[in-house]
Amino acid sequence: MTDDTLVPRPVRDAQSEMAEIVLPNDANPLGALLGGRLMHWIDLAGAMAAHRHSRNYVVTASVDHIDFLVPVRVGDLVILRSSVNRVFHTSMEVGVKVFVENYIADTAQHVASAYLTFVAIDQTGKHLKIAPVIPETDEQRRRYDDAGRRREIRRSELERRRKSH
């Protein structure tokens, strides 16, 4: 790892966008997108931002709660936008927001949002330090602060689960 790997980088440098057209193979018998397929796409979109920011291999450590807000149908265009909200030591929180675009009607609806935690690793699986992220806008600063609160909640929940086993 070179020294420039740990130079702080702005959120915008790693923001990513992914687009998928929902095909029949992605849908249930009623023609609606399978939730598991959307979760897979969310994981991929999140990993794109995490890879870009860390400039290393990353693995998914956790995915927070996901609500499916509106149905997505065969033929719809799904847009997934991801960005690094905050970096900790060897992990980072990435937010992914999903929209469905009806390109015929020229409309877009919010489908789902999720927060994922990724850990940077080397080829042997050893955790690697990650460069800090620099939030530049008010929205990015809010997401940065919120990510710190969510991390504390995740940590206390993990501790609670460990004690109950």
Q: Tell me the pLDDT tens digit for each residue of 3-44.
A: 677 999 999 999 999 999 999 999 999 999 999 999 999 999
Q: How many domains does the chain have?
A: 1
pLDDT-wise least confident of 67-71, 109-113, 155-159:
155-159
Task: Please state the rounded mean pLDDT for residues 131-151.
Answer: 97
Residue 122 — φ and ψ, nearest 5°? Answer: -95, -170
pLDDT band (50, 70, 90) for residue 1 = very low
What does pLDDT average to over the chain? 95
Check: CB of residue 54 under 8 Å from CB of residue 9.
Answer: no
**Looking at residue 2, what is its pLDDT?**
52
The CATH number linked to 149 is 3.10.129.10
d(CA 127, CA 89): 9
Task: Please state the rounded mean pLDDT for residues 135-152.
Answer: 96
Containing structural domain, residue 25? 3-164
